[in-house]
Amino acid sequence: MNRIEERFQRLKEEGQKGFVVYIGAGDPDLDVTHDLALAFDEIGVDVLELGVPFSDPLADGLVNQLAAQRGLDSDTTPGKVLETISRIRVSSGIPIVLYVYFNLLHKHGLAEFVQAAAVAGVDGLLVLDLPPEESGNYESLMAAAGLCPIYLVAPTTPPDRVELIVKRGKGFIYYVSREGVTGMQQTVSDTIGPMTRIIREHTDIPIAVGFGISNPEQAAEVAKNAEAIVVGSAIVNQIADKGRAADLVQTVKSFTANLINGIR
**Residue-by-residue pLDDT tens, the chain, 264 positions:** 899 999 999 999 999 999 999 999 999 999 999 999 999 999 999 999 999 999 988 878 889 999 999 999 999 999 999 999 999 999 999 999 999 999 999 999 999 999 999 999 999 999 999 999 999 999 999 999 999 999 999 999 999 999 999 999 999 999 997 544 444 444 556 789 999 999 999 999 999 998 778 889 989 999 999 999 999 999 999 999 999 999 999 999 999 999 999 998
Which residue type does 14 have? E
Backbone angles phi, psi at 152, to 5 degrees: -100, 145
Domain ranges of the chain: 3-261
Res 188: pLDDT: 58
Q: Are 256 and 45 in contact (CB under 8 A)?
A: yes
Res 22: pLDDT: 97
Res 214: pLDDT: 83
d(CA 183, CA 246): 26
Res 165: pLDDT: 95
Cα dihedral 178→181→187→188 (10° resolution): 30
The phi-psi region of residue 136 (left if phi > 0; otherwise alpha if psi is between -120 and 50; otherwise beta) is left
d(CA 210, CA 189): 10
Cross-strand pairs, 152: 174
Which residues are CB-contacts of 262 (< 8 A; sequence separation ≥ 6)? 215, 216, 217, 218, 219, 220, 223
Backbone angles phi, psi at 155, to 5 degrees: -60, -25
Q: Are 231 and 20 in contact (CB under 8 A)?
A: yes
Residues serving a catalytic function are 49, 60
Res 213: pLDDT: 85
pTM for the model stands at 0.94
The CATH architecture annotation of domain 3-261 reads Alpha-Beta Barrel (3.20)
d(CA 90, CA 119): 13
Q: Are 238 and 251 in contact (CB under 8 A)?
A: yes
